[in-house]
Each structure stands twice: as structure tokens, then as C-alpha cells.
Chains A and B, each alone.
Chain A
Amino acid sequence: MRSLVATYGRGLTALFCGLALIWLLGLIVLPQLFMLERSLWWQEQPAEAFALTKRIDDLYNEVSLLEFDRRAAEGEEVAQLEARIAAKRAEIAELEAVEVAPVRVYGLANYVKMSGLHFWIFVKTIFYAMLVTLLALVVCYPIAFAAAQLASPANAALLLLGLVVPYAINELLRVYAWLMILDYQGVINSFLAWLGLVDFEKRTWVPFLEYPGAVFVAMVYAYVLFMVFPMYNTMETLDRNQLEAARDLGASTWRTHWRVVIPHARPGIAVGCIMTFMLSAGSFAVPQIISRGTGGDWFSQLIYRQFFESFNWNVGAAYAFTLLLACIVFIFLVMRLAGVGIRDIAK
């Protein structure tokens, strides 16, 4: 802090710190607190009051409909419609006078009353996200290692560029690309049809999109970079002589990796796993686009529905918060497993 003041002067330092604080509060802490608050209450009304509210809502709908008609109406119809609108409005006013406002009840019910099906989807999502993470790890480890240690600098640069280029393309387009590949009449099936193995007429295509594997593949593809780069960064700092020393002492490739490369790259592996897990556990677009409702839901889709289809923000917030907690637990688990602290990861 003192060094900051020394470098930039008091005014600029205050500005920096102020901006950082606003960012921290405005974009991270406040929305989360807001969500948390939302998730902790729900609205309650007696049953007949609920019917009343429903009736009022219906009346409002009717009024808007009539107003719509009136705009199109001509002659005496206008007066007639206006009379009906006035009648409805009077009724609304009457009902609203006796309407009991719903009360907010605070409690943990939003968290606890998750249905069996939703809970199953939650568990499945966590499990799938772990699987995607594992898959990405298995795919990326050799790539990161090759780029960091085996390839010549020029080749390594090409390899990394090859990995980055797809990320210049919008995530949605990347996922759509997989859709086109895996679709019923997509690239693979067309190829199979060309080979005469499937027949589009008879609909004997292979339904790749209906397998959970389709979402995995697309997700691994969508998020590999977040796995590769942290790993590459740590592996790159590994002294090549260490590999040669291990080999010279008689170690097999497997042992060299287990004893030398992996321990060294542990922070990078942990960061990669955490990022991939968080992204895939919270991914909405990939399962939405790929499965189009044919496969099982992911939890993120469920949250979306709570918010924007059931308009139940309270339950949505509770679900979202549950997912967040699961992710945090995962982070600590990975850090414990990898034996790395926050400090290592920050590096």
C-alpha cells in the first residue's frame, strides 16, 4: 500500500483502491448477498387469498385484451367496449381493496424442499462436471506436456496457437459446430450413410446427441483451454534436466511423470481442474444447445427455469446458491487433494 502511494501518489492510489473496492462490492459481494437474501425467504398467502390474486391477474389480462379491441373498434362499438373496461376496472379496484398482500416468510425451506428429481439432477450435474473435468485433464495433460517440454519452441507456439484459435470464435458457435457434427443428419451420420451403415430414409441414424457423451465431448472441447493453459504454464517452468536426470537414473516414462512432472505441475493441474469444473458445472449453453431437451437436464438449466419460466426467484436463488456452495466445496477438495494452498494457486 505504501509502495503504491509512493509510486502513484495519493490521488491515483485512492482512485485505484476505490475502483477495486467498487468492483469487489458491486460485482461480487452485493449480487451474492442479494441472491442469498432472496434464497432465504418465500411468499406465503392463504389459499383463498391466492385465488383472489389469481382472479385479479385474470381481470388485468381481460382489461388489456379489451383495450386492444377498443383501439381497433369503430362507431358505437367504442362506447360499448369502454363501458366494459370501466366495469372490469371497478371490479379490480373492489377486489384489490380486500386483497391480502402475501407475506414474506424467512427460512431455509427453499433449500430443503428441493424435489427428489431436482436433487437427482443436482447430483448428476456435479458428477458429470467432475467427469468432464477428469476427461479434460486426461486429454490436456499430454498436450500441455508436449507443448511445454517436448516440442521445439516454434512447434510449441504453433500448437498453442492451434488451441487458442478456436477460442476466437464465439462459444455458442463452437458448440453449434459440435451440434452439426453429432446431429441426426450431421457430419458423422452423413459419413456413416455414405458408407451405407445408416439410412436417413429409415431413420436408422445413430442418435449421438441423445447420449450424455455428446454433452461431454462438447464441454471438454469448450473448456480445454482453461485446463491446458494453467498446466502448460507450470510445466513450462520445469527444468528439462530434471526429466533427463530421472530418465538417466532409470525411471520409466510413467514414473518420471508420477514423481517429477505431476508434483511440479500440481498447482497448474489444480487450477485447471477448478476452472473446468466451475465452468462445466455452471454451463448453461452447452447442455441446452446439444441436448435440446432430449437428454437429461443439467442443474444450470433448472436454475434458469426457476428464474425465467416459473418466475420463482426465491427457489432459483436457493438453487444457484447451492450450486455455488458445491463449487466452493469442490475447490477446497481439489486444493486439499493436490496439497496446494491459495498462495501456490495465485502464482
Chain B
Amino acid sequence: MRGQNVELVDVAMRFGAFTAVHPTDLVVEAGEFFSILGPSGCGKTTILRMVSGFLEPSQGEIRIGGTPMRGIPPNRRPTALIFQNLALFPLMPVWENVAFGLEARGVDKPTRRARAEELLRLVALEGQGHKRPSELSGGQRQRVAIARALAVEPAVLLLDEPLSALDLKLRQHMRTELRAIQRRVGITFIYITHDQGEALTMSDRIAVMSQGRVEQVDTPDRLYAAPATAFVATFVGENNLVRGRITRAENGLALADTPLGPLRAANPHGLAAGAEAMLFVRPERLQLGPANGIDNRLAGTIARRALEGPYLHLAVATAAGTELLVHATNRGGLDAWQVGAPVEVGFAAEEAMALPTGPLAADA
């Protein structure tokens, strides 16, 4: 099995007057674990269905391994799809499910059986081939679906929120499992999810989508550290966001007037003085307690706190009425951080970022 790259060139999908996917360019590298992340209804499934061939794009071209796919039906594309509800065939035993693609290709029964057993071993289900899917647990069914898709030796595996039906613990386990399987078989995975934690932990690269548009394509690290838009900043990870107006911009830094007073932040988008902006800083970048020589200083009182063993999560109410989220590591001395206690919070200018205003994830 060899992975192939997937290119979307100016691809758009319209259903009547409604545009589900706006013109999009996207390149997924061969052998990559690529996630498409976005809230429900943003067009993720639509993109996947266009790649798998169940939908023809209204515009643009999809190429897999350099071959244009227009007019090629799903059964003749080098892709395999794993459905959100898995869509296992309930009336066939597990091994026939796994071997279905081979059956469709006219492979004889002994070979099918052997190959199915091999694939079941790959997903740690050997010896379960005779059971019905309904006799397996959720996680096992998940793995049957993966084995069934891998049986046809696709170059690209398309997964539509396959873990969403599982409980949290199993989901976390399956993340590792999926990633390991992807490494082993080496083919391209395009993974769809609305769960940013899932995308961050598994992917080589992630495309974040909102309302039919790709907002940013990047590695998980960069997506988290340097979101390109207010939407990405608010959708991926926790954050503090303050609206303001830029009063000065120089040397890649910006000074902004905000309800919390003047604040300094990095200005990667080169916003000019007078522009509306959103100042964004991650909760773990905020420092608790008095510290000198820090660009931005704010005072407030602790409104809520939650101790998660090694971490302390605080909500700090400022005089202006805005709440700031602070994540601190637990270094002892917790008595000082009780609800109602006055605190000082500070952050360096480079830890914060001025982003152009735009819709937030919470609005979507």
C-alpha cells in the first residue's frame, strides 16, 4: 500500500443557492495524517464526499496522485471511506465485512478468508472473524471498519468523525491506535473531526474550517501557537480574547487600547494604527503574582478556581468586568490562590497577539 497525495484546486460545492464549500485550494501530502477540523455544519463531510466521489464538485478539480478525478465513480477511486456510523454490514460475519471489497473484486474465497484474517490481526481482532458486528464492542467495531477499508488497499483513507460514537476513554485509546495503524500502513489519512483535541494529538497537519472556508492549514504546533484568525484562535485550545483598537504599531509590536487598559502584543498581521483588533493570549501564558519588567500588568480577584492535580485553573475577574482564564502549574502554596483573593496577572508582549477581528468559534 502506498499513500498518494490529494489536491483540491479551486474546489467549491453548492447545493442550490447554498454554498457548502467555498472555492478552496488544499494539498494533502502522500502518507500524511491530515485532519479537517471545524464545527458541525462547516462543510467537512462535503469535502470528504467530494474526494471519495459521492459528490461531484460544482467547480474546480480534485486530483489524487496527480490524476484528475472528475467523472470517476467512488468504486473506481483509490480511496476508502470510513463512515461516521461505520456502516458495517450487520448481516455478514466480521470476516465477510472485511473481505467485502475483495469479494467485489472477484478474489476467490480462500484468499479472501486468509486476507481478512491478516487484516483482523493488524487491528488486533484475530479469531473474531466468525462473529457478527453486533457481537463486538464499540471499539472493536471501529477496528473492523478500519480493516474493511484497508482491505481494498486504498492510497487514501477517508475518515468521517469515526470516533464520535465512542466514550471518552475509548476515544483517547483509539486516537493512539489510529495513529499507529496509519504509521504502519503508510497511506494518506484524511481525518475529519470537530474535536480539536483529537486533531491536535493525531495529525501531521490540520485544516481548520469555518462556514465552508478553510481558515488555516498548519501543523498542530503552529496552529496552537500562531492562529491566523480570531476563529482559529478561539476554536483551537482555550484562550483569552479582548477587543481593542490599535494606537501604535512598530517593530512587529502593537499597542492597543482595550477595556483592560493599554496592552502590548505581537502584531504578525501588521495591523496599522487605528485598526480594530482582537488581542489574544493563551491561559497558560499568563503569569500569576507580582513580577517586574513585564509589558502588561492587570489586577483582579479570583472568581473561580479548579485544581486539576498538577494544574490550577483560575478565572480572574478584572475591574473592567472581563474575566481572564489562567492556567498555572501547581508549585505549592495553593492557599494564596483562594476564591476572592486579589491577584496580579501579567504577560509579555510576545505571548499575546493582535488578530484582525472576525467571527469567533463561539458564534458559529
Contact = CB atoms under 8 A, between A and B. Distances in A.
B91 A249 contact: no
B23 interface: no
Interface residues of A, number: 17
A263 B91 contact: yes
Contacts of B80: 248-249
A245 B81 contact: yes
A251 B104 contact: yes
A260 B80 CA distance: 18
Contact of A250 (B83, B84, B104): B104
A55 interface: no
Given A239-B87, A259-B92, A248 B52 contact: yes
B186 interface: no
B89 A250 contact: no
B75 interface: yes
A250 B87 contact: no
A249 B100 contact: yes
A108 to B, nearest CB: 44
Nearest to A251: B104
Nearest to A239: B87
B343 to A, nearest CB: 52
Interface in B90-105: 91-92, 100-101, 103-105
A250 B79 CA distance: 10
A245 B105 contact: no
Contact of B89 (A247, A252, A260): A260
B100 A264 contact: no
A241 B104 CA distance: 17
A317 B81 CA distance: 61
Interface in B311-353: none
A153 B75 CA distance: 26
Nearest to A264: B91
A259 B149 CA distance: 17
Contacts of B74: 244, 247-248
B85 A250 contact: no
Contact of B83 (A245, A252, A255, A259): A245
B152 interface: yes
B253 to A, nearest CB: 52
Contacts of A241: 83-85, 87
B104 A244 contact: no
A248 B81 contact: yes
A39 to B, nearest CB: 43
A246 B91 contact: no
Contacts of A247: 73-75
A263 B83 CA distance: 21
Most chain A beta carbons < 10 A, residue from B79, B80, B87, B151 = B87
A250 B81 contact: no
A242 interface: yes
B54 A244 contact: yes
Contact of B81 (A242, A244, A260, A264): A244
Given A250-B152, A251-B75, A259-B92, A245 B87 contact: yes
Given A241-B85, A245-B83, A250 B101 contact: yes
Interface residues of B, number: 26
Identify whether the interface residues of A are mostly helix, strand, loop, or mixed.
helix
Nearest to A263: B91
A242 B89 contact: yes
A255 B92 CA distance: 14
Contact of A259 (B54, B76, B89): B89
A179 B148 CA distance: 54
Contact of B101 (A239, A249, A263): A249
A264 B90 CA distance: 9
Nearest to B80: A248
Most chain B beta carbons < 10 A, residue from A244, A252, A255 = A244
A239 B73 CA distance: 20
A248 B87 CA distance: 11
Nearest to B151: A249
Interface string A262-287: 01100000000000000000000000
Nearest to B53: A248
A51 B321 CA distance: 118
B120 to A, nearest CB: 16
Contacts of B104: 246, 249-252, 255
Contacts of B76: 250
Given A244-B74, A264-B91, A251 B85 contact: no
Given A244-B74, A255-B104, A249 B87 contact: no
Contacts of A248: 52, 54, 74-75, 79-81
Interface in A230-257: 239, 241-242, 244-252, 255
Given A244-B74, A259-B100, A263-B91, A249 B148 contact: yes
Contacts of A260: 89
A12 to B, nearest CB: 39
A116 to B, nearest CB: 46
B91 A250 contact: no
A338 to B, nearest CB: 13
Contacts of B103: 251, 255, 259
Nearest to B160: A241
Nearest to B85: A241
Given A241-B87, A255-B104, A260-B89, A249 B54 contact: no
A255 B79 CA distance: 19
B153 to A, nearest CB: 11
Q: Give the 4 A-B residue pairs with the shortest CB-CB distance, closest first.
A: A241-B87, A249-B101, A245-B87, A251-B104
30 contacts: A239-B85, A241-B84, A244-B83, A245-B81, A245-B83, A245-B88, A245-B89, A246-B89, A246-B100, A246-B104, A247-B74, A247-B75, A248-B52, A248-B75, A248-B79, A249-B80, A249-B100, A249-B104, A249-B149, A249-B152, A250-B101, A250-B104, A251-B75, A251-B101, A255-B103, A255-B104, A259-B89, A259-B92, A259-B103, A263-B91
